[in-house]
Amino acid sequence: MRETGIPTVPAPSVTRTRSGRFVSYCRRTWPLHLLLLPAFLITLTYQYFPMLGAVIAFKDYKPWLGIWGSDWVGLEQFRYLFSFPDIKQIMWNTIVIAVQKQILSIVVPVLFALLLNEVSRAAFKKTVQTLVYLPHFLSWVILGGIFVDVLSVQGGIVNRFIGMFGADPIFFLGSNHWFRPTIILTDIWKEFGFAAIVFLSALTSVNPNLYEASEIDGANRWKQAVHITLPAIMPILVVVSTLALGRILNAGFDQIYNLYNPLVYQTGDIIDTFVYRVGLEGGQFSFGTAVGLLKSIIGFALIVTCYRILYKVADYRIF
Amino acid sequence: MAVQQRKRRLIGTVGSILLLSALATACAGNSPKESASGSSGTGSAKATGQTTAQATEQPIDHAQQAKKKFDPPVTITTAIIQDQLDNAFKPGETIENNVFTKWMKDNMGIELKFDFVVGKQSDYDTKFRLLLASGSKLPDVITGMYTDQLDAGLLMPLNDAIDKYASPNLKKLFAQYPQAFDSVTRDGKIYGIPRFLSADEGGVMWMREDWLKKLNLTAPKTIDELEKVLEAFTKLDPDGDGKPDTYGLAVSLKDGMYTWMASADPIFGAFSDYMAPEFRSIGQWWNPDKDGKLVYSAVDPSAKPFLETMARWKKNGYMDPEAGVKDAMKAIEPAVNGTAGVIFGPNWMGQWPLEDTAKTDPNAVWKAFPIPAGPDGKIGRVVQMTGGAMSFSKDFKHIDAWFAYMNKMYARQFGKDDPYYDPTFDVGFFEGYDYVKYDGKIIKNGFKEKGVPENMWPLASGKEMDMKYALYALNGAFTPTVPYLGDPGYAKFAADPNAQAANAAEERVKNLTKTQLEAGNVRQTQNQADKYNAFGGPLSETMKSKGGLLTKLESEAYLKIIYGDKPVDYFDEFVKEWKASGGEQVTADVNSWYESTKKK
Amino acid sequence: MLYRSPSYKLFTICNYILLGLVSLLCILPVVHVFAVSLSSRAAATANIVNFWPVGWTTDAYAQTLANAHFLRALYIGVERTVLGTAISITLVLLAAYSLSKSDRYFAGRTAYAWFFVIPMLFGGGLIPTYLVVKDTGLLNSIWALVIPGAVNAYLLILMLNFFRTVPVELEEAALIDGAGHFTTLFRIYLPVSMAGIATISLFEMVGHWNSWFDGMIYLKSTNDYPLATFLQSIIAKEDFNLAGIRGEDVANISSRTVKASQIFIGALPIMAVYPFLQKYFVKGIVLGSVKG
């Protein structure tokens, strides 16, 4: 853990008393508090005040009655959520897809960053890096149409490729067997380039002297990658992974909404798409908020757990 | 990425709170944009009948009202969805300031102000949600009827205003289609003015005539004959390229058996007396059976032979293998790129998208045919009568001005005898906008082809202007329409493109292309096949809480059977499960609403 | 030149090939969309465009670019992005610096950290946020787009971790020379953390540039819309008001070509700025300033 700070030796008489310590604390840290102030105020106003509105999840919210005027219904919305016969399946779909996505969305960009790091030709490196982040800019509305074509059973590129090996065409978007992998892989494809940027920039902070030194000690690139490069991006990796845990129940509404259809509801219907459809009919605002709250609580619990584990085990605070 | 995450969360929240989905409204026509308070709309007698029977207000003198200019000028505020850009306004004019807003101010004394302008329906709904939640003032004239606003007591009841201010012809129209008011009436009070559709969107069967000729086939009149044609299109290489790259039917099944293009509803209609199911709303479709009880079309036994047929066609490769993952826009592609030879849809498809086929294959000729009959001679197709409604803030002080405006706009539909008919709009609205006078002729489109000099074109691009944003801002940019009124025009103009239009409805028809006109004629021959949704009431509590589940069951069952994942007999299991999961209760709710409307 | 084993040479070749293939995989769909944006509407509806435009036309772009509102929306988009990024990055840098100190030195640091993290997960939702924005008087102004989301906790945490990698020796050297916190931050930390700053700036810029929903809900008139809102709300008709789709309307439906062109119009500025930032992530920065 980073140890900073002026190794000042304060006058003993000042620090022995409680108030004395407090005064020296203020003198030392007042600039830090000041630096935090603007961010603190904005967060308080625009993030915390609205949070009070989450109480909508426990009410039967009617917009014209306002948040406080609407009836309190306690856990009714949550009971309603779990009353659906499909809810277990939907939750399971969400978790399965989200977990696989989170894992791959860390592993793939990191691998990519490591591989790219091995490239010595700057021009090639820059070109590759620029090309792979482009899919991030395509929206799922457009990609929905593109993937229907690419994955088409009738002459879609992927199936033609498979056909070269003599296999039968696969109905990716209509098959419960293939829908999830399709979702996951296409999402990774879209985002890995952009996500890798974080890791690439972390790699730049690695002291090149370390590489030279290890060369002299006889380490090959592989050992260097494992012992120098990887540890260098470990902090960022850990942070990104932990924060990703907070989104554990976000399996990607935008993407799934544009790619799914009734044939694959069984494996592809996630919490968000389900709530969206229910919302269309019932217009239940409180319901949506309640579901959001549930997701937040679970995500938060996971982050807290991870944070504590890392602190206890590695004495490392990820933030 | 947190920023996107927040964005997504916002979107997710908004999406999941879409109380006021226009989609639900639109598809229903008689919209279930209804309340959270669970009123089942009992005792909502036929309000128009009531008003004409016990008119409490005397109508004003319409002849005088037609000429009235409001002095001092009245200001009407509204909000609008403006989703068309390149040919709505001349450069320098905007929706807030254009030739018509000026005309309204100078001639009628009406000043138009916009509280906000957005680009699409979901944005509009969100804005209304926020207006309500923040207690802000509503616009005077509102496109759509938001039940939240209604429940909050913010909308104006219109019974008296209709009596007093609606023109005689308009009142007649209302009386002719009282069911259009079902969804906007609560406890006998009317809160919205329905916007009628032209009802000429009933599906026809579009077929590649060149393929029929090549394979020496005649147009099928029954489902069995259609099956043979589909088979031929799939197996006999109608495009002559030696490759098995064609099939019969282009169709979209993702959103239901009915959708706005590439629909399967005429096929369903061949087997069933009811409307082809769609997957979005539990409010659609309900039709009366022979005992006068409303039945949810998706669970009626008559769906079974339909499913059997579709499953067989799917298995044999006669239809798009990916119909279940394609929505309407995607499903038309095989038709346009020469892969499919049959597609069901409205008459206007003749121009778009089907005309584009000729651009890739110059031999392609699409022709419209009547929809085929089923084994018992049945034909049927889904038609919608209304497209939303206009509602008004209860603080709106000038409802008479709105009606004066509306009466004037409608007058062009009704013809010269209407008291509100304005002769200055005889040939068109504004010269240089929706028409030009050239060489002694009134020209409304095709300026380039007709030799009009470029400096006289309404727009630099040569396209015709879409005036509805300028003209009909107070009707939500929706042209006032009378159902079926334009029908005589189809035959008239197909025969003689230069014939005289009797009213604005026919004028609109006159602008269609020959293929569209002919298709329209075909459509008319089967108007008796038109079926409308009979359920127009608010969604009951059960409908709201179980609706999503029930439509999910329905969509999964239908697609699984058609795709062969489940046998046709699975349908019976589905119906049982549907009933047990709340379907029984929903049916009871719907019928109790229906009973209550029958009391006159 | 250092020795590279033959197996490493083989690896290098494979690596180049692999990366090349992956790049191709990523660029091809983008090329396809670009080709669609330059194709005729008929070709797009028929879906016969592959990687080269069919029926070449710039109509799709013209429809957007020729629109009177476009330039204004573009300007507002740039204004919002520049302003928003500047404010955001400033706040984040200041706060991250403080948070990167150790607990021992700065007690209460962890409390602040959690304070910023919690709203990442919990939010009031659309209506409560709207009400707060309204009540603080930001409605109908560009500030509504720039202030409420200014503190991006994710970027804050990233930056805080970047700051932690600044060698302690540098800081101690500065302190010995009598520098206070402000000086340390500006003279030492910032110059040395350019990679991190470039990263979070890029994310923030992209976020602002693509953010369309807030523009729609907080602004009254389409005249004030930033580019993303303009494109999303007006140009791209994604959902149809199925009520009353009529023959004459249908011909005007935004085709795929327009939606495709919208992506490029929206993405172009970012892609233009990107190379300037890229050098911070791709080339290494030599931290040569500390010896021993």
Q: Are β-strands B436-438 and B185-186 bridged in parallel, bridged antiparallel, or unpaired?
A: unpaired
pLDDT at B47: 40
Q: B443 forms bridges with which residues in the sheet?
A: B436
Q: Considering only CB atoms, which chain A residues are within 8 Å of B326?
A: 148
CA angle B450, B454, B457 (to 5 degrees): 75
- What domain range includes position B81? 2-199+387-394
Task: Outline where DSSP puts E strands in chain A.
Answer: 59-60, 71-72
Are residues A180 and A31 both part of a single domain? no
Tokens of A169: 């065409």
- Does some domain include residue B472? no
pLDDT digits (tens, 9 = 90+) for A16-29: 677 888 888 888 88
Q: Among the listed ranges A68-72, B541-545, C252-256, C287-291, which one has the minimum average pLDDT value?
A: C287-291
- Encode pLDDT of B384-414 as tens digits: 888 889 999 999 999 999 999 999 999 988 8
pTM of structure: 0.85
- How would residue C249 be classed by pLDDT, with cut points 50, 70 and 90? low
Identity of the amino acid at B211: W
Strand, helix or coil for residue B309: helix
**C132 in the same domain as C167:** yes
In this structure, of A77-91, B46-60, B478-492, B519-533, the range with the lowest mean pLDDT score is B46-60
Query: Given CB atoms, is B203 within the 8 Å cutoff of chain C?
Result: no
Same domain, C40 and C64: no
Query: Are residues A132 and A53 both part of a single domain?
Result: no
Percent of chain C with pLDDT over 70: 86
Q: Both tokens of residue B511?
A: 């602008």
Contact C168 A49 (CB under 8 A): no
In sequence order, the 6+-apart residues with CB closer than 8 A to the CB of A41 are none
C246/C260 same-domain check? yes
The residue out of B368, B394, B420 marking a domain boundary is B394
Give, for A243, the enclosing helix (H) or strand (E): helix A230-245
Judge if A59 and A172 occupy the same domain. Answer: no
Q: Which of B340 and B149 is assigned the larger pLDDT?
A: B340
Residues B281, B161, single domain; the answer is no
* Count of beta carbons in the 10 Å neighbourhood of residue B329: 19
Instruction: Give the per-residue pLDDT at A282.
Output: 54
Same structural domain, A173 and A302: yes
Any chain A CB within 8 A of the CB of C134?
no
In this prediction, residue B423 carries a pLDDT of 86
Of A88-92, B61-65, B204-208, B260-264, the poorest mean pLDDT is in B61-65
A158 plus A135 within the same structural domain:
yes
Does A287 reside within a domain?
Answer: yes
CB contact under 8 A, B3 and C243: no
By three-state DSSP, how is residue B428 classified?
A: coil
Both A147 and A33 in one domain: the answer is no
Mean pLDDT (whole number) for A165-182: 91
The reported pLDDT for the residue numbered B18 is 39
| Residue in A208, A236, A319 nearest the CB of C113 | A319
Question: Which residues in chain A have Cβ-Cβ distances shorter than 8 Å to B545?
Answer: 80, 282
The whole-number average pLDDT for the span A52-70 is 85
For residue B416, tell me if it sits in a domain: no
Residues B348, B515 contacting (CB under 8 angstroms): no
Q: Is residue B239 part of a domain?
A: yes
Torsion of CA A41, A47, A49, A55, to 10 degrees: -160
The pLDDT value given to residue C237: 53
Q: Is the pLDDT of residue C241 over 60?
A: no
Residue with tokens 């179980």: B546
Whole-number pLDDT of residue C244: 45
Residue B40 confidence (pLDDT) above 50:
no
Span C235-252, mean pLDDT?
Answer: 51
Do the chains contact at C195 and A205, CB–CB below 8 Å? yes
Whole-number mean pLDDT of chain A?
86
C248 Cβ under 8 Å from any chain B Cβ? yes
Report percent pLDDT > 70 for chain B: 90
Q: Taking CB atoms and an 8 Å cutoff, what residues of chain A touch B558? A: 262
For residue A218, the enclosing domain spans 87-314
The reply to whether B340 and B237 lie within a common domain is yes
pLDDT band with cut points at 50, 70 and 90 for residue B590: very high
Residue A94 domain flag? yes
Chain A residues with CB inside 8 Å of C33's CB?
Answer: 138, 142, 146
Domain check: are A42 and A108 in the same one?
Answer: no
Query: What pLDDT score does C2 carry?
Result: 54
Of the candidates C24, C39, C57, which is a domain's last residue?
C57
Q: Please check whether residues C254 and C279 belong to one and the same domain.
A: yes
B-chain residues near A262 (CB < 8 A): 254, 279, 324, 552, 555-556, 558-559
Residue-level pLDDT at B557 = 96
Chain C residues with CB under 8 Å of A134 CB are: 26-27, 30, 271
Non-local (6+) Cβ contacts of A165 within 8 A are none
Alpha carbons C232 and C221: distance in angstroms, whole number:
15
- In this predicted structure, what is the pLDDT of residue B59? 77
pLDDT of residue B35: 32
Please tell me the distance in Å from A34's CA to the nearest CA on chain B.
Answer: 25
With CA atoms as reference, the chain C residue closest to B340 would be C46
Give the total number of structural domains in chain A.
2
* C73 and C218 inside one domain: yes
More confident residue, B430 or C263: B430
Residue B136 is predicted with a pLDDT of 87
User: In this structure, which amino acid lies at residue B153?
Assistant: G
**Which of the other chains make 3 or more beta carbon contacts under 8 angstroms with chain B?**
A, C
Please give the residue that has the higher pLDDT: either B559 or C175.
B559
Of B394, B428, B447, the residue at which a domain comes to its end is B394
Nearest to A48 among C119, C136, C287 (CB): C119
A4 vs C168: CB contact, 8 Å cut-off? yes
For chain B, the average pLDDT equals: 84
Mean pLDDT of chain C: 83
Q: How far apart are CA B191 and CA B185, in angstroms?
A: 6
SS3 B363: coil
Do A63 and A139 lie in a common domain? Answer: no
Asked whether residue B507 is assigned to any structural domain, the reply reads: no
Tally of structural domains, chain B: 2
Q: Read off the pLDDT band of B89 (50, 70, 90).
A: confident
- The lowest-confidence range among B304-308, C146-150, C261-265 is C261-265
B266 CB-contact burial (10 Å; exposed 0-12 / middle 13-18 / buried 19+): buried
Q: B81 pairs with which residues across the strands?
A: B118
Q: Which of A3, A25, A54 sits opposite C122 (nearest CB)?
A: A54
CB atoms A279 and B551 under 8 Å? no
- Look at residue B183 in the predicted model and tell me its pLDDT: 84
CA-based nearest residue in chain A for residue B5: A247
Q: Which of B157-166, B441-450, B561-570, C34-43 has the lowest mean pLDDT?
A: B441-450
pLDDT of residue B139: 93
Nearest CA in chain A to B327: A261
Q: Inform me whether the C-beta atom of residue A215 falls under 8 Å from chain C C-beta atoms.
A: yes
Query: Are C219 and C103 within one domain?
Result: yes
CB B87 within 8 A of CB B461: yes
pLDDT at B160 over 50: yes
Chain C residues in contact with A298 (beta carbon < 8 A)? none
Q: Tell me which residues of chain C, numbers 86 to 105, contact chain A at a CB-CB cutoff of 8 Å.
A: 91-92, 94-95, 97-105
Question: Which of the four pLDDT bands, split at 50, 70 and 90, describes residue C285?
Answer: very low
**Chain C neighbors of B5, CB-CB under 8 A:** 120, 154
Domain that holds residue C9: 1-57
**Do the Cβ atoms of C282 and A28 come within 8 Å?**
no
Of B352, B370, B394, the residue that ends a domain is B394
The predicted pLDDT at position B231 comes to 95
B49 with B178, same domain: the answer is: yes
Q: Which residue out of C126, C220, C258, C259 would a mutagenesis test of the B interface target, given it has the greatest number of B Cβ atoms within 10 Å?
A: C126
Per-residue pLDDT band for A141 (boundaries 50, 70, 90) equals: confident
For A116, list phi and psi in degrees, rounded to 5: -65, -30
Residues B190 and B62 in one domain: yes
Q: Tell me which amino acid residue A116 is.
A: L
- At B180-198, the pLDDT tens digits run 898 888 888 999 999 998 8
User: Contact B336/B357 with Cβ under 8 angstroms?
Assistant: yes
Say if residues A283 and B23 touch (Cβ distance below 8 Å): no
Query: Are B384 and C243 in contact (CB < 8 Å)?
Result: yes
Whether residues C39 and C113 fall in one domain = no
- Among the candidates C24, C42, C57, a domain finishes at C57
Give the β-pairing of B381-382 and B530-531: parallel
Closest chain C residue to B134 measured between Cα atoms?
C131
CATH number for the domain including B247? 3.40.190.10
A93 shares a domain with A47? no
Q: Where a domain ends, among A21, A45, A72?
A: A72
Q: Are C120 and C206 in a shared domain?
A: yes
Q: Hey, which chains touch C, using 3+ CB pairs under 8 Å? A: A, B
Q: Among B130-134, B162-166, C96-100, name the one with the lowest average pLDDT.
A: B130-134
DSSP class of B80? E
When pLDDT is averaged across residues B55-76 and rounded to a whole number, the result is 79
Distance from CA of C194 to the nearest CA of A (A): 9
Q: Which of A46, A267, A280, A286 to substitute to test the interface with B, most B CBs within 10 Å?
A: A280
On whether both C169 and C251 belong to a single domain, the answer is: yes
Q: What confidence score (pLDDT) does residue A8 get?
A: 45
Enumerate the residues of chain C whose CB falls inside 8 A of the CB of residue B17: 126
Q: Could you tell me the CATH number of the domain that includes residue C271?
A: 1.10.3720.10
pLDDT given for residue A202 in this prediction: 82
pLDDT per residue over B195-245, tens digit each?
998 888 888 999 999 999 999 999 999 999 999 999 999 999 998 888 888
User: Is the CB of residue A132 less than 8 Å from the CB of residue A112?
Assistant: yes
pLDDT band, residue B86 (cuts 50/70/90)? low
C66 with C19, same domain: the answer is no
Mean pLDDT of B277-306: 92
Cβ of A174 within 8 Å of Cβ of B324? The answer is yes
Contact A129 C270 (CB under 8 A): no
Q: What pairs with residue B117 in β-bridges?
A: B80
Lowest mean pLDDT among B2-11, B202-211, B463-472, C95-104: B2-11
Closest by Cβ to C15, choosing from A36, A40, A115:
A115
pLDDT at C32 over 70: yes
Measured over the CA atoms of residue A100, residue A101, residue A102 and residue A105, the dihedral's sign is: positive
Has residue B40 been placed in a domain?
A: yes
Asked whether residue B342 falls in the same domain as residue B245, the answer is yes
- Considering the domain architecture, whether residues B261 and B161 belong to the same structural domain is answered as no
* Residue B399 maps to a domain: no
State whether A161 and A21 are in the same domain.
Answer: no
C233 touches B at CB < 8 Å: yes
Residues C97 and C130 in one domain: yes
In this predicted structure, the answer to whether residue A260 has a pLDDT above a threshold of 80 is: yes
Interface probe with A: pick from C1, C30, C33, C87, most Cβ of A within 10 Å: C33
Is B324 part of any domain? Answer: yes
pLDDT per position as a tens digit, C193-211: 888 898 899 899 999 998 9
The pLDDT of residue B56 is: 55
Q: Looking at beta carbons, which residues of chain A come within 8 Å of C263? A: 137-139, 142
* One-letter-per-residue 3-state SS of chain C: CCCCCHHHHHHHHHHHHHHHHHHHHHHHHHHHHHHHHCCCHHHHHHCCCCCCCCCCCCHHHHHHHCCHHHHHHHHHHHHHHHHHHHHHHHHHHHHHHHHCCCCCCCCCHHHHHHHHHHHHHCCCCHHHHHHHHHHCCCCCCCHHHHCCCCCCHHHHHHHHHHHHCCCHHHHHHHHHCCCCHHHHHHHHHHHHCHHHHHHHHHHHHHHHHHCCHHHHHHCCCHHHCCHHHHHHHHHCCCCCCCCCCCHHHHCCCCCHHHHHHHHHHHHHHHHHHHHHHHHHHHCCCCCCCCCC
pLDDT of residue B356: 86
CB contact under 8 A, A135 and C278: no
In this prediction, residue C253 carries a pLDDT of 56
Statement to judge: residues B93 and B36 lie in one domain: yes
Are A44 and A98 members of one domain?
A: no
B208 and B194: one domain?
no
Please indicate whether, in this complex, the C-beta atoms of A139 and C180 are within 8 angstroms of each other.
Answer: no
Helices A271-282 + B2-16 axis angle, to 10: 30
Q: Does A139 touch chain C (CB under 8 A)?
A: yes
**pLDDT at residue B122 above 90?**
no
Facing residue for A62 by CB, picked from B8, B11, B36? B36
With CA atoms as reference, the chain C residue closest to A31 would be C181
CATH number of the CATH domain containing A259: 1.10.3720.10
Whether chain B has a CB inside 8 Å of the CB on C232: the answer is yes
The 10 Å Cβ neighbour count of residue A27 is 12
Please give the interface size between B and C, counted as residue pairs whose CB atoms are below 8 Å apart.
174
CB atoms A51 and C123 under 8 Å: yes
Radius of gyration for chain A, computed over Cα atoms and rounded to the nearest angstrom: 26
Q: Which of C47, C152, C251 sits opposite B3 (nearest CB)?
A: C152
Across the range B500-513, mean pLDDT stands at 84
Where is average pLDDT lowest: A36-45, B160-169, C38-47?
Answer: C38-47
The reply to whether B151 and B231 lie within a common domain is: no
Is there a single domain that holds both residue B289 and residue B370? yes
Question: Higher pLDDT residue, B422 or C236?
Answer: B422
C-beta neighbour count of A11 within 10 angstroms? 10
Residue A133 within a domain: yes
Q: Is A305 on the interface with C (CB under 8 A)?
A: no
Q: Let me know whether B559 and B584 are in one domain.
A: yes
Let me know if residue A77 belongs to a domain: no
Bond prior to B372 in cis (omega within 30° of 0): no
For strand B340-345 and strand B247-250, is the pairing parallel, antiparallel, or unpaired? parallel
B60 and B130: one domain? yes
Asked if pLDDT for residue B344 goes beyond 90, the answer is yes
User: Based on the domain organization, do A120 and A163 belong to the same domain?
Assistant: yes
Are C38 and C84 contained in the same domain? Answer: no
Query: Which A positions 280-299 lie with beta carbon below 8 A of chain C?
Result: 285, 288-289, 292-293, 296, 299
Looking at the structure of chain C, the number of domains it has is: 2
Domain containing residue B164: CATH number: 3.40.190
